[in-house]
Structure 1
Amino acid sequence: MISPLFTDREERRFPHVDTDDRNLLIDICPSGRLCVAVGEGNGLHTVFYLYYCTERSLTNFIGDGSAKHAQTGNATAHLLNQNRVFRVSLYPDPDPVRIDWDPIYYIDPC
């Protein structure tokens, strides 16, 4: 889970998707979004499309996942550990990257 998640037109959550659908949802990440995928522990995944520049808490983000930074301009997304120390910075990139969610407790989309 990501909190807060703004469930308006700008942000979306796609739960219980298989690997092929996860890959597709990450690949087609809309412009202006940070898209992240996390495994559910049962072979399925949840994909989130994040838009707003607000720090979020992550719950049950474990193991490997992926992210695609499709924001515009110089926006940089930051993944932080439990002490809010930067672990990973994501820059706009047309290609998804693998993420190890185990040390990540917070995400700041921009």
Structure 2
Amino acid sequence: MVVTMIAAVLVPLAVSAPAQAAQNVAAGTTGWTPEIYPLFSGEWVKRDVSSAQRDSELIWCSRASGIACVAIGQGDGKHSIFHLFKCDTRSLSNFIDALSVRNNQTGGAQVRFWGPNTNPYYALADGNIYNFPDQATYDFNRLDIC
């Protein structure tokens, strides 16, 4: 009897619900768009870099003296790479995972990331690629170059 009562309530609701298209699973994973604001004149971002190419793209991006390059995951297995050189504090959005930095600035300038609940993380100007833990990047909302 209970089953009959539940069915009597749910069947009319299902019939009156609007038809919805089936989700397109074949379309692939949906990602997000990481942003650094502001990007100054001459700075740029390259999107959709594969994981296999990320480190070589970071090196290529930062080959010139005075440049810092930041790669961040897009959530779809690809990365956005930011080419930065202006000394300033920036806002970050959608910095969620897979953060790597190569700092080729001069004069010992550092790249510093931080958030409201995370101590700062640094990338020194030593030509190395720094990989930051995902749990820290979830909180990062600021970036300082210099």
* TM-score (structure 1 length as normaliser): 0.87
Residues 1:94 and 2:127 are matched in the alignment: yes
Match of 2:59 in 1: 27
* More relative contact order, 1 or 2 (CA 8 Å, 6+ apart): 1
- Measure how far apart 1:47 and its partner are: 0.3
Give the distance between the partners of 2:104 and 2:71, measured in 1 at CA: 14
* TM-score (structure 2 length as normaliser): 0.67
Aligned residue identity for 2:126: D
- Measure how far apart 1:20 and its partner are: 2.8
Report % sequence identity: 32
Aligned residue identity for 1:32: G
Question: Which of the two has higher C-alpha Rg?
Answer: 2
Residues 1:54 and 2:88 are matched in the alignment: yes
Residues 1:45 and 2:79 are matched in the alignment: yes
Give the distance between the partners of 1:45 and 1:75, measured in 2 at CA: 24
SS state of the match for residue 57, structure 2? Answer: helix
Comparing both structures, which one devotes a greater share of its residues to helix? Answer: 2
RMSD: 1.6
Match of 1:104 in 2: 140
Structure 1 ranges of 4+ moved more than 4 A = none
